[in-house]
Amino acid sequence: MTGAAADRHPDPPDRLAEVSDAADRAFRAFRLLPAVPDDARESGPPHPAHRISADPDTVERDLVRLVLTLVELLRQLMERQALHRVDQGDLTEEQEERLGSTLMILHDRMSGLCADYGLTLEDLNLDLGPLGTLLPPVRPDD
Protein backbone atom coordinates (compact mmCIF):
# COMPACT_ATOMS: atom_id res chain seq x y z
CA MET A 1 0.00 0.00 0.00
CA THR A 2 1.18 3.44 -0.77
CA GLY A 3 0.15 7.01 -0.03
CA ALA A 4 -3.53 7.49 0.79
CA ALA A 5 -4.25 3.77 1.05
CA ALA A 6 -1.67 3.38 3.79
CA ASP A 7 -3.25 6.26 5.75
CA ARG A 8 -6.69 4.64 5.62
CA HIS A 9 -5.51 1.20 6.75
CA PRO A 10 -2.81 1.60 9.38
CA ASP A 11 -0.98 -1.51 10.56
CA PRO A 12 -2.82 -3.26 13.42
CA PRO A 13 -1.39 -2.19 16.76
CA ASP A 14 1.22 -4.44 18.29
CA ARG A 15 -0.93 -6.01 21.02
CA LEU A 16 2.05 -7.41 22.92
CA ALA A 17 3.67 -3.98 23.07
CA GLU A 18 0.41 -2.44 24.34
CA VAL A 19 0.05 -5.03 27.10
CA SER A 20 3.71 -4.69 28.03
CA ASP A 21 3.42 -0.90 28.25
CA ALA A 22 0.26 -1.15 30.37
CA ALA A 23 1.92 -3.65 32.72
CA ASP A 24 4.98 -1.42 33.02
CA ARG A 25 2.82 1.63 33.85
CA ALA A 26 0.85 -0.38 36.44
CA PHE A 27 4.07 -1.65 38.02
CA ARG A 28 5.46 1.88 38.29
CA ALA A 29 2.16 3.14 39.75
CA PHE A 30 2.10 0.43 42.42
CA ARG A 31 5.69 1.22 43.41
CA LEU A 32 4.56 4.79 44.15
CA LEU A 33 1.85 3.64 46.58
CA PRO A 34 2.73 3.62 50.28
CA ALA A 35 3.20 0.21 51.88
CA VAL A 36 0.50 1.13 54.39
CA PRO A 37 -2.37 3.46 53.44
CA ASP A 38 -2.37 6.83 55.26
CA ASP A 39 -5.65 6.08 57.03
CA ALA A 40 -4.23 2.84 58.45
CA ARG A 41 -1.14 4.47 59.94
CA GLU A 42 -1.13 5.18 63.63
CA SER A 43 0.35 8.30 65.11
CA GLY A 44 1.95 6.46 68.02
CA PRO A 45 4.85 4.05 68.01
CA PRO A 46 4.34 0.94 65.89
CA HIS A 47 3.11 -2.18 67.64
CA PRO A 48 5.27 -5.28 67.40
CA ALA A 49 4.04 -7.78 64.85
CA HIS A 50 2.29 -10.88 66.11
CA ARG A 51 4.72 -13.75 66.01
CA ILE A 52 3.97 -17.37 65.37
CA SER A 53 4.47 -19.45 68.45
CA ALA A 54 6.76 -22.28 67.44
CA ASP A 55 6.77 -24.12 70.74
CA PRO A 56 8.25 -27.57 70.04
CA ASP A 57 5.81 -29.12 72.51
CA THR A 58 2.71 -27.92 70.66
CA VAL A 59 3.86 -27.69 67.05
CA GLU A 60 2.46 -31.13 66.13
CA ARG A 61 -0.92 -30.39 67.71
CA ASP A 62 -1.04 -26.96 66.03
CA LEU A 63 -0.22 -28.46 62.65
CA VAL A 64 -2.87 -31.15 63.11
CA ARG A 65 -5.34 -28.43 64.11
CA LEU A 66 -4.59 -26.47 60.93
CA VAL A 67 -4.91 -29.54 58.69
CA LEU A 68 -8.14 -30.62 60.39
CA THR A 69 -9.50 -27.08 60.02
CA LEU A 70 -8.94 -27.24 56.26
CA VAL A 71 -10.48 -30.71 56.05
CA GLU A 72 -13.49 -29.53 58.09
CA LEU A 73 -13.93 -26.51 55.82
CA LEU A 74 -13.92 -28.78 52.77
CA ARG A 75 -16.28 -31.24 54.47
CA GLN A 76 -18.77 -28.45 55.20
CA LEU A 77 -18.51 -27.14 51.64
CA MET A 78 -19.15 -30.64 50.29
CA GLU A 79 -22.11 -31.01 52.64
CA ARG A 80 -23.63 -27.73 51.45
CA GLN A 81 -23.12 -28.73 47.82
CA ALA A 82 -24.76 -32.10 48.48
CA LEU A 83 -27.75 -30.44 50.17
CA HIS A 84 -28.05 -28.08 47.22
CA ARG A 85 -28.08 -31.01 44.79
CA VAL A 86 -30.70 -32.82 46.90
CA ASP A 87 -32.86 -29.69 46.97
CA GLN A 88 -32.60 -29.39 43.19
CA GLY A 89 -33.57 -33.04 42.74
CA ASP A 90 -30.37 -33.89 40.83
CA LEU A 91 -29.85 -37.16 42.70
CA THR A 92 -31.65 -40.45 42.79
CA GLU A 93 -32.88 -41.74 46.15
CA GLU A 94 -30.00 -44.25 46.23
CA GLN A 95 -27.45 -41.50 45.55
CA GLU A 96 -28.98 -39.36 48.29
CA GLU A 97 -28.71 -42.24 50.78
CA ARG A 98 -25.11 -43.00 49.82
CA LEU A 99 -24.15 -39.33 49.99
CA GLY A 100 -25.81 -38.91 53.38
CA SER A 101 -24.07 -42.00 54.76
CA THR A 102 -20.70 -40.84 53.43
CA LEU A 103 -21.09 -37.38 54.96
CA MET A 104 -22.10 -38.85 58.33
CA ILE A 105 -19.08 -41.19 58.30
CA LEU A 106 -16.79 -38.29 57.42
CA HIS A 107 -18.27 -36.21 60.25
CA ASP A 108 -17.75 -39.08 62.71
CA ARG A 109 -14.14 -39.56 61.55
CA MET A 110 -13.47 -35.84 61.90
CA SER A 111 -14.83 -35.95 65.45
CA GLY A 112 -12.65 -38.99 66.17
CA LEU A 113 -9.51 -37.33 64.80
CA CYS A 114 -10.24 -34.24 66.88
CA ALA A 115 -10.66 -36.39 69.99
CA ASP A 116 -7.36 -38.20 69.26
CA TYR A 117 -5.55 -34.85 69.46
CA GLY A 118 -7.57 -33.36 72.31
CA LEU A 119 -9.51 -31.01 70.04
CA THR A 120 -13.18 -30.35 69.47
CA LEU A 121 -14.85 -29.26 66.25
CA GLU A 122 -15.21 -25.82 67.87
CA ASP A 123 -11.41 -25.65 68.23
CA LEU A 124 -11.10 -25.81 64.44
CA ASN A 125 -13.03 -22.59 63.91
CA LEU A 126 -10.34 -19.97 63.25
CA ASP A 127 -11.03 -16.40 64.31
CA LEU A 128 -10.49 -14.14 61.30
CA GLY A 129 -10.73 -10.93 63.29
CA PRO A 130 -13.18 -8.41 61.84
CA LEU A 131 -14.35 -10.97 59.26
CA GLY A 132 -15.67 -13.27 61.96
CA THR A 133 -14.94 -16.97 62.14
CA LEU A 134 -13.89 -19.26 59.31
CA LEU A 135 -16.60 -21.83 59.90
CA PRO A 136 -20.24 -21.29 60.80
CA PRO A 137 -21.11 -21.99 64.45
CA VAL A 138 -21.44 -25.67 65.32
CA ARG A 139 -25.07 -26.71 65.68
CA PRO A 140 -26.01 -28.38 69.00
CA ASP A 141 -26.96 -31.62 67.18
CA ASP A 142 -23.42 -32.00 65.73
What are the structural domain ranges in the chain? 61-131
The Cβ-side half-sphere exposure at 28, using a 13 Å CA radius, reads 5
Helix 59-88 to helix 93-116 angle, to the nearest 10 degrees? Answer: 170
Instruction: Give the separation between CA 68 and CA 61, rounded to whole angstroms.
Output: 10
pTM of the model: 0.55
Percentage above 90 pLDDT, the chain: 18
What pLDDT, on a 0 to 100 scale, did the predictor assign at position 47?
52
What pLDDT, on a 0 to 100 scale, did the predictor assign at position 10?
47
Instruction: Give the separation between CA 66 and CA 107, rounded to whole angstroms.
Output: 17
Instruction: Give the separation between CA 95 and CA 58, rounded to whole angstroms.
Output: 42
Instruction: Give the separation between CA 132 and CA 125, rounded to whole angstroms.
Output: 10
How confident is the model over 81-97, as a mean pLDDT? Answer: 90
